[in-house]
Amino acid sequence: MKFPKFIKNLLSRDSKRKYARKTSKNDVTSAQKEKDLSERQFVEQSESKKSVEIARKSSYKKKEFQDSVLLIIYTDEDANELATPQIVSGHLGEKINYRIKPLENFDLINFKGFTKNYVSPYAVLTLVFHKKTAGSIWIFYRDADTNELILSPKLSKGYLGDAYQLYSPSIPEYSLLNVKGSVRGIRSLGSSSLTFFYRRRAWLANEPAFLYFKMQSSVPVYDAPGGKRLKINLSPQTIWKTFTVITTAENTKWYCIGGPLWIVFNSTLMSISTAEITIEPPVHGAAKLAMFIDATVDYIVDKSVNLYDRPFGKISGTLKHGTKIRLEYSSTSDEVTWYRLTNSLWLPSQYILFK
């Protein structure tokens, strides 16, 4: 069917308009979609930025929340640092919570700058410690042969855990022989002792000697080898047992007859025997003891008591108060009991202190 020309033209215009309208609608829809997507992305980006900013602000606020710092310093009395300082943080007004470091061998004695709460942005607490005192070490200086003190005892003090080294002093006329105790170590809480033993340089040897001497004549007695002569003489025909012999640098032999009583050997004044020399008691009825009895002379301090050759007999010697004696015979005469010593002399019982 043929359409008139003007109708064709009309239809053509309508078609263009319709197509134009469709195109316009499609463009508007596409543009709207792009706009919506852009807005959605913008919102998402904005929300993301807000989240980051909120997170940053929150983090910043948390950091700013601890607005006070306390520095804890550990020192001794001379301000020497004893441990790494502590840093404790919080916020103003809050109560401070911390634990003091334990320092071995130290005691807390003082503090500076103590506070219970955070009162300023920055504060310092100084803890002052004192080192614990260790147990004392007593030092003795003795003669190895007589056990007498050569010097006054000394006291070594120090701090717990410290190392120590002790030395023996030089003493004129003596040489160090041995040591009992530790000369070095680490100080502890317990007390201890250290003894330095010395021997006279003039003495070559000190040995036990269980010998018997019979005096042929009067023999002098000394308080020590080469020492002071005592007012005691051993009577002739008396027998004495010895316990120790000391040889001096001059090759002289000194014998101890008990306590601080010494005689120097002289072959013209005495005879010597390794076996016990027995002499029958000169007193009728004297009884030999079942065993030797050790006792002590009991008289007056710094005074000497007389010894007799028989009960109520002749004075034949003396012994100082406190001298150790050994008894071997007893006899009773006129209601007085007498004891004969191992030196064959007699002593009344009232001057004897039994152990």
> What does R_g of the chain's alpha carbons equal in angstroms?
55
Is 270 in the same domain as 214? yes
Q: How many separate domains does the chain show? A: 3
Is 242 in the same domain as 319? yes
Domain that holds residue 261: 210-354
Instruction: Identify the pLDDT of residue 339.
Output: 92
Residue 264 within any structural domain of the chain: yes
By the 10 Å C-beta count (0-12 exposed, 13-18 middle, 19+ buried), 172 is classed as exposed
Q: Can you read off the two tokens belonging to residue 200?
A: 């006279």
Is 234 in the same domain as 340? yes
Is 334 in the same domain as 289? yes
Residue 113 within any structural domain of the chain: yes
Is 320 in the same domain as 222? yes
Instruction: Identify the pLDDT of residue 274.
Output: 73
In Å, how far are 31, 37, 54, 71, 197 from 40, measured between CA atoms? 14, 5, 20, 52, 102
Distance CA 105, CA 308 (A): 67
The tens-digit pLDDT sequence of the chain (355 residues) is 444 554 445 445 555 555 555 544 555 556 566 666 666 666 566 666 665 555 555 554 444 568 888 999 999 988 899 999 999 888 888 898 888 888 988 989 898 988 888 888 889 999 999 999 899 999 999 998 878 899 999 999 999 989 999 999 999 989 999 999 999 999 998 899 999 999 988 888 888 888 888 888 889 999 888 889 988 888 888 888 888 899 988 889 999 888 788 999 988 888 887 766 555 555 667 888 878 889 999 999 989 999 988 888 888 888 999 999 999 889 888 788 999 988 888 999 999 998 7
Q: How far is CA 10 from the centre of its chain?
A: 126
Last residue of a domain, one of 92, 109, 131: 131
- pTM score, two decimals? 0.47
Neighbouring CB atoms inside 10 A of 30's CB total: 10
Is 171 in the same domain as 283? no
By the 10 Å C-beta count (0-12 exposed, 13-18 middle, 19+ buried), 277 is classed as middle
